[in-house]
């Protein structure tokens, strides 16, 4: 069997090509904004800049707007074109991906608010070190995830899923360290709890990235790889 090519721009209807190209483009713009917001939160934390964190929190509405607009475009495409096969899978994947992106936006906003509080209370740099490192891993994961979506690259998608799995394990040890710290130093409980919640946020961003990666695989391969072992996913992806 020959490998199927799924290039958007080859429909008899050029208008349809344009509509699909449009939603894809818009998802990438939305992804760009989500990535930027996330990066700004991390910088705010590093610089101890509460104003910057407040600004990020205030701008989450832009991401929500993107989601609603792209959603509407997808509904119109479904109504107008009744897409099938790879087109259908792309539209369905897009509606799911923008939901995950919107949720990443929400987690980012939540972190921005928490960081604002922590910074205002004190400056416990020690906590931040591990958190910032994890944040950087997640930022890279998010960036690569969007890259996989842009290029519809399933091989890299699986690679990033593995990466996400490794990062996820780091969170467990981070959480343990925070608990130890609270035990030793009850004074630190308030700020350590904040850090704990912020860590949860990062973890969720990682989960949303994995959802997006799974949707890239679904869109290209037509296979639902949710709840599958990574080795199985890799097998699926390798099959042409």
Partner 1 sequence: MNMSEHTQQNEHKTEGTPLLDDPRMSTRGVDVFYGDKQAIFNVDLDIGKNQVLAMIGPSGCGKSTFLRCLNRMNDTIDICKVTGSISLDGEDIYDRKIDVVELRARVGMVFQKPNPFPKSIYENVAYGPRIHGLVDHKVDLDEIVEKSLVRCGLWKEVRDRLDQPATGLSGGQQQRLCIARAIAINPEVVLMDEPCSALDPIATATVEELISELSERFTISIVTHSMQQAARVSQRTAYFHLGKLIEVGDTDQIFTNPTHQLTEEYITGRIG
Taking the mean position of all CA atoms in its chain, how far away is CA 236? 23
User: Given candidates 37, 52, 70, 89, which one binds partner 1 under the rule CB under 8 A?
Assistant: 89
Instruction: Please identify, among the stretches 37-45, 61-69, 78-86, 119-127, the one whose residues bind partner 1 according to the rule CB under 8 A.
Output: 78-86
Q: Does position 87 bind partner 1 by CB under 8 A?
A: yes
Please give the residues from 199 up to 228 whose contact with partner 1 meets the rule CB under 8 A: 222-223
- Residue 219 sits at the vertex; the CA angle it makes with 213 and 224, to the nearest 5 degrees, is 70
Over its C-alpha atoms, the chain yields an Rg (Å, rounded) of: 20
**Distances, alpha carbon 23 to alpha carbons 5, 113, 227, in Å:** 20, 31, 27
Q: What are phi and psi of 128, to 5 degrees?
A: -70, -30
User: Given candidates 6, 211, 228, 236, which one binds partner 1 under the rule CB under 8 A?
Assistant: 6
Nearest to 109 by CA among 46, 32, 55, 31: 55
10/126 with CB nearer partner 1: 10
Q: Does position 79 bind partner 1 by CB under 8 A?
A: no
The answer to whether 142 and 104 have CB atoms below 8 angstroms apart is yes
Q: Does position 18 bind partner 1 by CB under 8 A?
A: no
Q: Does position 239 bind partner 1 by CB under 8 A?
A: no
Q: Does position 88 bind partner 1 by CB under 8 A?
A: yes
Binding residues for partner 1, rule: CB under 8 A, are: 1-2, 4-6, 10-13, 16, 82-89, 222-223
């Amino acid at each position: 069997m020959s490998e199927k090519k799924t290039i958007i721009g080859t429909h008899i209807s050029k208008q349809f090509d344009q509509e699909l190209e449009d939603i894809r483009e818009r998802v990438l713009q939305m992804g760009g904004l989500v990535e930027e917001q996330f990066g700004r939160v991390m910088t705010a934390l590093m610089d101890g800049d509460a104003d910057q964190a407040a600004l990020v929190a205030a701008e989450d509405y832009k991401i929500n707007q993107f989601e609603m607009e792209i959603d509407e475009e997808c509904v119109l495409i479904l109504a107008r074109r009744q897409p099938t096969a790879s087109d259908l899978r792309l539209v369905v994947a897009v509606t799911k991906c923008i939901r995950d992106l919107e949720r990443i936006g929400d987690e980012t906003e939540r972190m921005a608010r928490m960081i604002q509080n922590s910074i205002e209370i004190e400056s416990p740099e020690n906590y931040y070190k591990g958190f910032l490192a994890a944040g950087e891993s997640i930022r890279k994961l998010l960036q690569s995830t969007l890259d996989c979506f842009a290029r519809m690259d399933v091989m890299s998608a699986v690679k990033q899923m593995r990466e996400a799995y490794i990062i996820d394990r780091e969170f467990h040890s981070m959480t343990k360290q925070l608990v130890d710290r609270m035990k030793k130093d009850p004074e630190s409980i308030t700020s350590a709890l904040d850090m704990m919640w912020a860590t949860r946020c990062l973890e969720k961003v990682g989960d949303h990235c994995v959802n997006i990666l799974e949707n890239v695989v679904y869109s290209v391969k037509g296979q639902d790889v949710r709840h599958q072992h990574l080795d199985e996913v890799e097998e699926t992806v390798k099959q042409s």
